[in-house]
Structure 1
Amino acid sequence: MKKFIIHIDMDAFFASVEQLLNPFLKGKPVFVSGNTARDSVIAACSYEAKKYGVKSGMSVMEGLKLCPDAIIVRGNPERYIDTSRKIFNILQTFTEKVELYSIDEAFLEINVKNASHENLKNIGFSIKKAIFDQTHLTCSGGISCNKTVAKIASDICKPDGLFIVLENEIEKFMEKLPVDKVPGIGPKMAEKLNLMGIEFCGQIKNVHLQLLRKKFGVRGEEIWYLCHGMGDTNIIIQSPEPKSFGHSYTLRNDTDDINLLLSVLCRLSHQVGMRMREEQYCGNILTVTIRYSDFTSLTKRKTYPFWFNDDQTIFKMASSILLSQSISKKIRLLGVSVSGIHKRYQLSLFRNEKREKMLEAMDYINKTYGTDTVFPCWMLYEKLSAAPIKKTHAFMFNDLKKIS
């Protein structure tokens, strides 16, 4: 049996998920960002936008200079996480040895008797087809003897491609590969290597390992091995069981408006609760993260003697933590997470049957007709505050007593 590593990389993942859910976006340049403000950062962009030279990490303003017709979409992390889990489950039907490398990438280990291009191609296309049939999303795949070459192979055949590099083909494959295309060699290191006369991986043969080690330390040795197409072959099998459920939100403008902050906290509690119930989990540890305008952070964690996954319970506890802090500086980010996770069916969670049925109905409506079709009224303050309308809102933090 011959061991191979397969690298699966979803194509423009965040943007593709948005295009799939909104047919209007199909075939159009799309920026996915934390918010729609021009000074925010592009987390991902569609291939239609990439054609103009737009890249992840650019500011929206910078991206719009290259692609003025781009449509800016506010990212939906829970949607991407859910889709990622579906893909992970699909991959596990092919082999138990699956390593979730990132939200849109995974490594698989397969062992085959027939190590021909044709057989490996059939396996690769079977995986791609299963993902597309069940998610309607495309991915690129690379197959080789180690993670390094498999990842490079998937990168060069994007989008929706499959590339195979057998062991006896690695040397030739790496020969003309620019060093900046090797995972683990960033732009700055590539620039340093270029100054040494190393533009392509094959040129590393002309440089002694000791010289690289002397110049860059242990990093130099790693680079030497990477450029020779050597890499890790171990798959780190991770349990898909979550350790926590959390969401954070960066405010459009730094603020100390307590009503707006509570409204954002309500939205985050709503999102966390929905995800926990969908996956049938509950927890007993709540964490609230506050990041101030000067980028200092405060994290408060509290353990409770009961289990919860109810929006209202999460919000009440999170707001209690927030209100216990002295807000002397403006806030730019809030985060809410629940840990101490257990499966809901393992615990006697709900005592209020009416409340449980109401939550199930709300979750069904939101899942069927879209997130935020039904939501707690406290979230209205954030929604109205985000709109360009000057209006006084009758929401006071004393109103919290009404939901106690």
Structure 2
Amino acid sequence: MIDSLNRASDWTTVSAVVAGIGVAGFACADALAQLGARVVLVDANDTPALRERAEILDVIGVEVKLGFTADLPECDILVVSPGLPPSSAIIGQALARGVPVWGELELAWRLRPVESPAPWLVITGTNGKTTTTLMLESMLRAAGLRTCSAGNIGMSLVGVVMHDDLDVIAVEVGAPQLPFVTTMSPLASCCLNIADDHIDHFGSLEDYIAAKARIYERTQIAAVYNAEDERTRTMVEEADVIEGCRAIGFTLGAPGLSMLGIVENILVDRAFVPDRAATAQELATIDDINPPAPHNVANALAAAALARAFGVNPAAIRDGLRAFIPAAHRIASVATVEGVSFIDDSKATNAHAALTSLKAFPSVVWIAGGMAKGQDFDDLVLEVGERLRGVVLLGVDRAMIAGSLG
């Protein structure tokens, strides 16, 4: 019975434990309670802010246990928040008992409306996810579609599918959301790139890559990969997709068949055109992209590929890019003082993101720091060392970065 649960099922006989009272966990508990399930929410933390959330859930019948360190309560399903590592004790206990473990994505997919649910266009990758998702949303809106961006981007996907009437959803997916997805079947999917990140969460780079690869499972129309990142191509080649799904590449060079790319500063499509062997469709120019740094052009191509998979016309791709406003702290211009540009790219929280940002400028004073999250910075320094005119180091792992600088 549990395996077949969906929005129309009778949930009144279902006992669910939700682990985590963050944005995702709160929305999951709320939705399950609305459907009539018996819900217990557990969280190891206990703060005044969490108690306020707990009081709201208590009103709708959710039993909340903060400061929770005991064994998994008896239940039919365990729904886990993305912040919970796959190696956590409560997940291990569920698996040992044969209790199904779902993430927010899995629950959201099952809770879509039974009649005419909005298709999902899903995006993951080490870097560029939020920018690409927001670019995609802008393109879909320019095409006149009812849409929103949700998932890892801040708006709960469960809340969206429960309450919003949409034509299509742009879904940002972080790696921690992917281990416990078993039925999600997106219309189109994309992994933008792969680099060392979340090693502390997954335990190894191999496990992190394996989690990212799950984005392509059961994709229906287009599995989009980065032609400059061989690991994303391999993911598509090895994915168990729906019959008829096509592999679509994007590249900063001239595109081959079934690819999007750049020709003389023009974004062109050789994937979603009738005669792709002999023709290409102009979509936009690099000047339409804000900012036009190489990694952001790659983000625009990926977003365009997903939009085109849904049938968005070329004019809407261009108009969406022109209307796009970058999210805060992503290679954003702060000011120019006496000829020196000050750039805020503080969302570059791993070495790969920092590298792509630094490569966008010929001469840089780099302000860096924070937590290394299991990464090293040797390769970054080797690649951009000649661009660095100075480095200011902050944060708990500044000594590690200093060691890479020599």
Instruction: Say which structure is richer in helix.
Output: 1
Which bracket does the TM-score occupy, shorter chain normalised? under 0.3
Provide the TM-score with structure 2 as the length reference: 0.24
Larger Rg: 1
